[in-house]
Structure 1
Amino acid sequence: MPQIDSVLISTRQGIRTMRFIWGSARMSLLILVSIFTCSASVMYLVYRNFPELSDDEMEKIKIPKDMDDAKALGTVLSKYKDTYYTQVLVAYFATYVFLQTFAIPGSIFLSILSGYLYPFPLALFLVCLCSGLGASFCYMLSYLVGRPVVYRYLTERAQKWSQQVDKHRNHLINYIIFLRITPFLPNWFINITSPVINVPLGVFFIGTFLGVAPPSFVAINAGTTLYKLTTAGEAVSWNSLAVLGVLAVLSILPVCFQKKLQQKLE
């Protein structure tokens, strides 16, 4: 009888825990939808201040899903960029941050497009800043409402990455830079799980800002010949992959040297 009672108590506690997690996840999703709605309203206001466009041009003002969409969007933005420089820049900035914040696909095409619209130094800074801010906003959203969602849907992957982060806790910036350069973990996964496993926001922002620079360099450089591209994959050549590989190794070398130095000192 005592064994049966203990089993019943454990079962009830498990049911209560599951109900709590489910309730928290549902509430978190409701809050997330509310924040997304408010952000979408801000985006609407940004585009309301855009110059008046023809019907044909309005059809091209959308988040690019492929290279043809990016070319069409580039045609419209380049037409108005000089006359309405601030409006175009703000719209580009807000759209990029919005996509990064809510992990919506399409930012790679905006990175390529920046190389077509702006001088290279400005384009690189703009993409790195948008990526850093958007990823940080995604981080804060996850910190605010994402924990129940991560615990419910990404438990195993989050636990594995938490173990990796613990191993690199003393050099997190290098580790995040390495992850941003390499494709080992999706960017959206890094963004939403980082606050759950206690990656500091400052370290996260700096690592992201610096880490996205090398792949952004490739995308922006490809944007200078935008109308010669037919797919996003053409923006990446074997030479650029080799450069990214070298930079990824260089980002992690200080960590390796530090570990060897510590071993010698011990």
Structure 2
Amino acid sequence: MRSIAGLVSIVAAATVCLYLLSTHLPPGPKNAAPGGEDGVAQEYRLKFPSDLEELRELAEMLKFYKREHHGYVLLLFCSAYLYKQSFAIPGSSFLNMLAGAIFGPWEGLVLACLLTTSGSTFCFLLSSMFGKQYVAQLFPEKVALLQRKVEENRSSLFFFLLFLRFFPMTPNWFLNITCPVLNIPMPIFFFSVFIGLIPYNFICVRTGSMLSQISSLDDLFSRRTLAQLLAIALVALVPGALIKHYSKTHLKVDGMNSNGTSQAEFKQERRRR
């Protein structure tokens, strides 16, 4: 009971801090305002984007404030990203795209990699302190399967975790909360997240950067845009192909499918349907 109360207290405190940070926007630049007149911006309620249209609107508004309040926008973005990652809330792809739209492809990529790793580590620590017993109770079959695969790949544990990040047979948030139960050492967890999610972060950040620059179909089919799409495809395919080649000879991942359950469980679910 004490564990639940401690976790609820941390979530509540973080929620209040993020709310206060998002509702006390500094004055925008006086020479222009997005959608407003005479330098007064239209009232805009900050929220996590759930589709591309909301992403575009939020990116435009934050870029507007970033002109004179770069530090504030950076603090707000980092706080929102860490909030989602630390408490295992899905939706990091939109925040990665938002990073590319606001900060550009390279600063956005660095931010996304650092925040993904830091947030996942916070989630790991929270699970270790407050939720190990509950994770095992809520997901006994999935935890047992992962535990078995971790033991089978103990000699190549780092590359096994990299494989799971490149090919998400189980969601990233679930890996973050389960690794403490599996007794994964913190350094191995940290670097497997940092390296394993670079291609994913690159794709999302680059996509967000491109979306913020495209205003017509002509822009979409320009040589520069097509070259960027080719680069994104290569980053997505090459590391994955290398890890997959390595896994065939060094890792034991048979019996797992794309949602982290065993093939036997998957067949049972299909029969029930």
TM, length-normalised to structure 1: 0.76
CA contact (8 A) 1:112 1:223 kept: yes
User: 1:44-89: CA deviations, max 9, x gaps?
Assistant: 3433553147784432x11111111111110110101121001101
CA distance in 2, matches of 1:27, 1:151: 18
Does residue 113 (structure 1) correspond to residue 98 (structure 2)? The answer is: yes
Secondary structure at 1:224 match in 2: helix
Does residue 201 (structure 1) correspond to residue 201 (structure 2)? The answer is: no
CA contact (8 A) 1:57 1:76 kept: no
Does residue 180 (structure 1) correspond to residue 155 (structure 2)? The answer is: no
| Aligned-pair CA distance for 1:256 | 6.0
CA contact (8 A) 1:177 1:210 kept: yes
Q: Extract unaligned runs of 5+ from structure 1.
A: 1-25, 230-236, 260-266
Residue matched to 2:144: 159
Pick aligned residue for 1:79 from 61, 64, 83 = 64
Residue matched to 1:97: 82
User: 1:84-137: CA deviations, max 9, x gaps?
Assistant: 001101111111011011111332111011111123221111101100011111
Residue matched to 2:107: 122
Pick aligned residue for 2:15 from 35, 40, 45 = 40
RMSD: 2.5
CA contact (8 A) 2:156 2:250 kept: no
CA contact (8 A) 2:104 2:209 kept: no
The letter for the 2-side match of 1:249 is A
| Aligned-pair CA distance for 1:161 | 0.4
CA distance in 2, matches of 1:175, 1:52: 49
Secondary structure at 1:184 match in 2: coil
Does residue 218 (structure 1) correspond to residue 203 (structure 2)? The answer is: yes
CA distance in 2, matches of 1:30, 1:253: 46
Q: Extract unaligned runs of 5+ from structure 2.
A: 29-39, 216-228, 252-273
The letter for the 1-side match of 2:170 is L
Does residue 134 (structure 1) correspond to residue 144 (structure 2)? The answer is: no
CA contact (8 A) 2:206 2:232 kept: no
Does residue 246 (structure 1) correspond to residue 221 (structure 2)? The answer is: no
Cα 1:28/1:55, change in 2 over 3 Å: farther
The letter for the 1-side match of 2:241 is V
CA contact (8 A) 1:175 1:252 kept: no
The letter for the 2-side match of 1:99 is K
Residue matched to 1:4: none
CA distance in 1, matches of 2:42, 2:25: 15
CA distance in 1, matches of 2:47, 2:91: 10
CA distance in 2, matches of 1:170, 1:41: 44
The letter for the 1-side match of 2:4 is L
CA contact (8 A) 1:181 1:244 kept: no
Max Rg structure: 1
The letter for the 2-side match of 1:38 is A
| Aligned-pair CA distance for 1:193 | 0.5
Range that drifts further, 27-36 or 71-80 = 27-36
User: 1:201-240: CA deviations, max 9, x gaps?
Assistant: 11111110111110111111111222559xxxxxxx8985
Residue matched to 2:44: 58
Range that drifts further, 27-36 or 239-248 = 239-248
CA distance in 2, matches of 1:45, 1:201: 32
Greater share of helix: 1
CA distance in 2, matches of 1:57, 1:165: 51
Secondary structure at 1:58 match in 2: coil
CA distance in 2, matches of 1:55, 1:116: 20
